Amino acid sequence: MNTPLPNIRHQSIADLEAYFDSIGDKRFRVKQVYEWLWQKHAHNFEEMSNLSKDLRAKLGTDFSLPALHVDATQFSDDGTVKSRFKTFDGHLIEGVLIPTEERKTACVSSQIGCSLSCKFCATGYMDRKRNLTYDEIYDQVVLINQQSEKTFDKKLTNIVFMGMGEPLLNYSNVLKAIERISAEDGLFMSPKRITVSTAGVAKQIQKLGDDKVRFKLALSLHAANDAKRNQIMPINETNNIKVLIEALNHFYKQTGNEITLEYILFKNLNDSDKDAEELVKIYRQVPADLINIIEYNPIDAFRFTKPDEEGIQNFMGILESNRVNARLRRSRGKDIDAACGQLANKG
């Protein structure tokens, strides 16, 4: 059986220096190759035009350069762009470009499928095939940025890890991807413009604090007591609200980074006055800057619907009267299944 060629983007600078020493070439080649890989976004060795033809052929013999490719693109009436990406081994994932006047945001995936089975999320009904590697996550950002430049003549301003998968169950690849995205010899984007959203893996939230990460954190809460959260998010059975509050406080103490709570409203499940009051209590125990109240986007497998406008405004009113910083987030890209919770490779 043939051993697969090493992925050149998984080689460190020291690895590449040793490689060029071994083939008797100059070390300045490392900088040239690194630029092609991380700044000029070459997806094959042939594109590396300032290297000799022989060297490009040699690199192609000794290394692989697997890259994501856009498999399909859909455009929403509201300007949202959904892309289905194909991995080198034939898997499909989705990412979304969400444009507003002030921002151009990439919503990226971290896993192929998901293992957490949140009842309201289409991805949760898919099996988790594997984690995405850090270069595959990086490619999503690059390709969505190219779409933003082409469609809106603007670069990305923000990145949210709110696509397919649970980012904190792919911890090392997500952190390495963000390191490359924010590196001067990468995309050089400020970590303060990056938000990682988790369904609530308490141990890994603690680890983010210990690792002193510089990006923002969002917790998908969606219910303000354990009984209701267990019903829609099985992860709560092992990561309950009390444990999550402790983890978020630890994260904030270690990093001082912004924390957002995400809360999707479901009619007759978590939208009562009592639910709003319980949410206020959680908000007061967590160093959160904001609660995003999110419109529910229906999926086939989940029986709930969103409240009517009066119910939404009543819920918001209770939060605001308690001086909670809450924002109602209207969904974008619903007509192409690109909204929150709808990503499922439908194409």
Q: Supply the DSSP symbol for 262.
A: E
Least confident of 50-64, 100-114, 166-180, 331-345: 331-345
pLDDT tens-digit map of 228-244: 999 999 999 999 999 99
Per the prediction, the chain carries an average pLDDT of 91
Q: Report the pLDDT averaged over residues 102-122.
A: 88
Model confidence pLDDT, tens digit, residues 258-281: 999 999 999 999 999 999 999 999
With a cut of 50, say whether residue 36 has pLDDT above it: yes
Question: Sorting pLDDT into bands at 50, 70 and 90, what band is 335?
Answer: low
| Cα–Cα distance list, 315 to 113, 222, 278 (Å) | 32, 13, 12
Residue (of 226, 209, 229) closest to 217 by Cα position: 209
Give SS3 for 176: helix
Give span(s): CATH 1.10.150.530, the chain: 8-62
In 3D, which of 8, 93, 6, 20 has the Cα closest to residue 44? 8
Length, in residues, of the chain:
347
As annotated, the residues of the chain forming the CATH 3.20.20.70 domain(s) are 69-336
Match domain 8-62 to its CATH number in 3.40.50.410, 1.20.1050.10, 1.10.150.530, 3.40.50.300: 1.10.150.530
Tokens representing 331 are 């969904």
**Which of 254, 223, 252, 255 is CA-nearest to residue 239?**
223
pTM: predicted TM-score of the whole model, two decimal places:
0.91
For 209, left (φ over 0), alpha (ψ -120 to 50), or beta?
Answer: alpha
Residue 17 predicted with pLDDT over 50: yes
Whether the CB-CB separation of 312 and 293 falls below 8 Å is answered with yes
The angle at the Cα of 202, spanning 200 to 207, to the nearest 5 degrees, equals 120
Q: What is the per-residue pLDDT for 97?
A: 95
pLDDT category of residue 343 using cuts at 50, 70 and 90: very low
Query: Which CATH number does the domain 69-336 belong to among 3.20.20.70, 3.10.105.10, 3.90.1150.10, 1.10.150.110?
Result: 3.20.20.70
In Å, what is the CA distance from 277 to each residue of 194, 259, 265? 30, 20, 14
For the residues of 16-65, what is the DSSP string, one character each? HHHHHHHTT--THHHHHHHHHHHTS--SSGGG-TTS-HHHHHHHHHH-B-
Q: Is the pLDDT of residue 82 over 80?
A: yes
Of 235, 328, 311, nearest in space to 269 by CA: 311
Pairing of strands 104-107, 259-265: unpaired
Active site positions, annotated:
94, 340
